[in-house]
Amino acid sequence: MNIAFAVIVLGVLGALFGLVLAVASKVFEVKKDPREEAILSHLAGANCGGCGYPGCAGCAAAILAGNAPVTACAPAGAENAAAIAEIMGMSAPTGERQVAFVRCNGGTNAVKRFEYVGVKDCISATKVAAGPLECDFGCLGFGSCVAACQFGAMSIGPNGAAVVDPEKCTACMACAKACPRHLITSVPASKKVHVACANLNKGKAAMSVCSSSCIGCGLCQKECKKDAIHVENGVAVIDYDKCVGCKLCTKVCPRDAILPIATAEEKEKYKAIKKAQAEKAAAAKKAAEEAAASSAQ
Amino acid sequence: MDQITNLLAITLGAVLANNFIFSQFLGICPFLGVSKKVDTAVGMGIAVTFVMGLASAITWLVNTFILVPLDLVYMQTVAFILVIASLVQFIEMFLQKSMPTLYTALGVYLPLITTNCAVLGVALLNIQNNYNFIESVVYGITGGLGFLLAIVLFASIRERLVFADYPKNWDGFPIALVTAGLMALAFMGFSGLKIW
């Protein structure tokens, strides 16, 4: 009897609260745009914050409000961006997948100014006498970008500079924001040739601080058949719209600052080919001159 | 005058001497869970204060006017959980409609409070201590303020732990628990407090 009584009282109490909640949900109903849910389902869902909005829900709301482009979520990729564009009634955007790239291959090649023993964090390191490297543009290798990456795509490479795993990278660019030296940029995923140096100094000033620095000599610019690499402000910059990935620049770079670094063998081979070509051209020229001379006689 | 002294004693007790976190060890889970940043800790603390005050009032009413007359005091815990869960739901809906800014500020912490045992704790302690309605509400709100104080202090220490030099294998929760233990010891100093 007692049990039945308790069950009834609590049951009534529960039903009462349930009723109040049911009424409240109607009274306090907030109309939500169903498109927001739809957009949210096409975002990456990692809440990485790479878009600059608080979480994926914030990004979805911003896209719906027109404050963010449909491509705001880089990790979700082009496919999902197209789906979002469809939800928003826009035409699908074009553009290929981007990945992050660290513009420094120095690491242990760079000359150390002093031995830094403080907190293992790049920002902290740069606060001590402008950083432990002689190169003001080099990767410090304390891994602030590695810590910032939610996708496990960043690591400190064998030579002490950060590297990106393009397979895992989603171009959220959280690493770029974490890097105090602004070394990380986004590059098209399909392109394989990159200048791995950001040193704006020229000649000796760049040469003395690191063994793999771009010194702005311009050999790559001369060698490029597609006009795709130029020395700008003392550092070589690749125009990815023109680059075809022939790797000629990597073979002539005296500083090994262009990735993928050509081996000594490849360089020798290319030198030999060039030499042979030059000889052939000289011979042809000589022959043409002789022919011209004999016809004049 | 007696009434005011009494309320002051309850307040001091709830905030310092009998702090919900540090001397009663209630509500430890949100205390450890959302104390990584001061901003979120403040949000959580305010939300808890809000709910604890309201829950104290409503559970006292439920207990006095429903459970006691019907001789069902042994069902307290179940009834109170029912009250708190529906209350949090209701507040969430209410805030979303009428105070969207506060709703977004509290964010995910509001529904999380349902599982905060400090809220159920305050409701049960009110009954145990034979508090009247006003005392219950004051105890609820000040208990929440004690939680706010504890979580904000703890979050600010945790933010600075980044620069502390402790063994690597203590990273994360171990060092947080050590910190919480030391803070609880510090709060024990308040237990000698007397105001009359």
Q: How far is A63 from chain B (nearest CA, A)?
A: 18
| Bridge partners (DSSP) listed for residue B44 | none
- ipTM > 0.90 for the complex: no
**Amino acid identity, position A174:** A
Identity of the amino acid at A118: G
**Average pLDDT for A169-177:** 86
Least confident of A50-54, A122-126, A173-177: A50-54
Q: Which residues of B fall within a CB distance of 8 Å from A14?
A: 82
CB contact under 8 A, B93 and A28: yes
What's the pLDDT at A93? 62
B61 close to A (CB below 8 A): no
Distance from CA of B177 to the nearest CA of A (A): 23
> What residues of chain A lie within 8 A of the CB of B78, using their CB?
10
Over range A215-242, report the average pLDDT.
Answer: 90
pLDDT of A37 higher than 80: yes
* CB within 8 Å: B163 and A20: no
* Nearest-Cα residue of chain B relative to residue A120: B163
Comparing alpha-carbon positions, the chain A residue that sits nearest to B95 is A28
| Res. B153 pLDDT band, cuts 50 70 90 | very high
Q: For B41-65, what is the mean pLDDT?
A: 89
List, as one string, the DSSP characters of A169-231.
-----HHHHH-TT--EEEEETT---EE-------HHHHHTTBTT------HHHHH-SSS-EEE
Distance CA A162, CA A135 (A): 15
B196 has a pLDDT exceeding 60: no
Which positions in chain A touch B83 (Cβ < 8 Å)? 17
- For residue B94, the chain A residues in CB contact (below 8 A) are 24, 28
Report the b/e string of A35-69 with b at 16+ CB within 10 A.
ebebbbebbbebebbbbebebbbbbbbbbbeeebb
Long-range CB contacts (within 8 A, 24+) of A157-161: A157/A107, A159/A105, A159/A106, A159/A107, A159/A108, A159/A109, A160/A106, A160/A107, A160/A108, A161/A102, A161/A104, A161/A105, A161/A106, A161/A107
Token digits for B142?
Answer: 């000040």
Which of B75, B90, B93 lies at the smallest CB-CB distance from A10? B75
* Number of DSSP helices (H) and strands (E) in chain B, helices first: 9, 0
Nearest to B58 by CA among B166, B133, B147: B133
What pLDDT is stored for residue B194 in this prediction?
A: 64
User: Closest to A9 (Cβ–Cβ): which among B72, B83, B100?
Assistant: B72
Asked if the C-beta of B79 comes within 8 angstroms of chain A's C-beta atoms, the answer is yes
Query: Cis peptide leading into B100, omega within 30 of 0?
Result: no
Q: Which residues of A touch B75 (CB under 8 A)?
A: 6, 9-10
Q: What angle do CA A50, A55, A57 make, to 5 degrees?
A: 125
Tally A–B CB contacts below 8 A.
Answer: 44
Say if CB A262 and CB A276 are below 8 A apart: no
Cβ separation B62–A13 shorter than 8 A: yes
pTM across the whole model: 0.53
* pLDDT given at position A1: 66
Mean pLDDT of all residues in B129-144 = 93
Contact list, A25 vs chain B (CB under 8 Å):
93
The pLDDT value recorded for residue A5 is 84
> Mutation test of the interface with chain A: which of B54, B58, B62, B75, choosing the one with the most A Cβ atoms within 10 A?
B75
Which of B76, B82, B102 should one mutate to test binding to chain A, selecting the residue with the greatest count of A CBs within 10 A? B82
| Between B108 and B171, residue with greater pLDDT | B171
Whether the per-residue pLDDT at B53 is higher than 70: the answer is yes
Share of chain A above pLDDT 70, in %: 97
Does the pLDDT at position A206 exceed 80?
A: yes
Distance of CA A88 to the CA centre of its chain: 28
Amino acid symbol at B36? K
Q: Report the mean per-residue pLDDT for chain A.
A: 86
- CA distances to A77, A130, A171, A290 from A150, in Å: 16, 28, 11, 69
Q: Determine contact, residues B83/B59, Cβ cutoff 8 Å.
A: yes
The CA distance from A35 to A32, in Å, is 9
Contact A10 B79 (CB under 8 A): yes
Q: How close does chain B come to A57, measured CA to CA in Å?
A: 12
Q: How large is the average pLDDT for residues A161-179?
A: 88
Give CA–CA dist A127/B163, Å, rounded.
15
Q: Do B82 and A20 touch (CB under 8 A)?
A: no
Section B38-66 average pLDDT: 89
Q: State pLDDT tens for residues B71-96.
A: 888 888 989 999 999 988 888 888 88
- Chain B residues in contact with A17 (beta carbon < 8 A): 82-83, 86
